Amino acid sequence: MYEFFLFLHLTAISIWLGSVLTIAIMLLTMRQQIANRDIKSLAQKAIRTFNRIMYPSSFLVLVSGIVMIVKLGKDSARPFWLEYMQDAGAMTILVSIILSGIWGKKVIKRINQGNDKHAESSISKFSSGLLVSLLFILSVVFMAAFKFN
């Protein structure tokens, strides 16, 4: 059963990581042509679809991680990389869910307002935020790979 949750954990991380990278690159590419009506509608749809994928996948990372921590039990001494994953990972997930929801809606609104310069800068900031969250996720993956004690 533990292995099943580890499988869920790793699958959800792959989907989450992939979706963050894809939407950030897509938005950065679309940003300069945001005056185009089709691109506007595509960018809004892409953000909505991203949120639909990001919420469940990052939540699944958190839930499967918590289930595994519970299964490991309180007695077992936890190495530093696991403590880091538990704290920094959980924080990254919660901040990503909250910020992406609020920020994503704001970007969609900006695109609707019609001021292309504002929309462009809003998209740039949102994409940069996503890339920063990607760095945090990768820092957890790095710790899991090197398993620092």
Task: Using CB under 6 A, list all residues that contact ligand HEM.
Answer: 6, 9, 13, 61-62, 65-66, 68-69, 72, 82, 85-86, 89-90, 92-93, 137, 140-141, 144
φ, ψ of residue 34 in degrees (nearest 5)? -70, -15
In whole angstroms, give the CA distance from residue 145 to residue 111.
Answer: 40
Q: Which residue is nearest to ligand HEM (CB)?
A: 65
Q: Which is nearer to ligand HEM, 18 or 114 (CB)?
A: 18
Between the CA of residue 30 and those of 47, 120, 122, 130, what are the distances in Å?
A: 12, 9, 12, 15
Is residue 119 within 8 A of residue 113, CB to CB? The reply is yes
CB of 84 to ligand HEM, least distance (A): 10
Q: Which is nearer to ligand HEM, 82 or 108 (CB)?
A: 82
Q: Which is nearer to ligand HEM, 76 or 117 (CB)?
A: 76
Q: Which is nearer to ligand HEM, 7 or 128 (CB)?
A: 7
In the numeric block, which tokens belong to residue 23? 């939407």
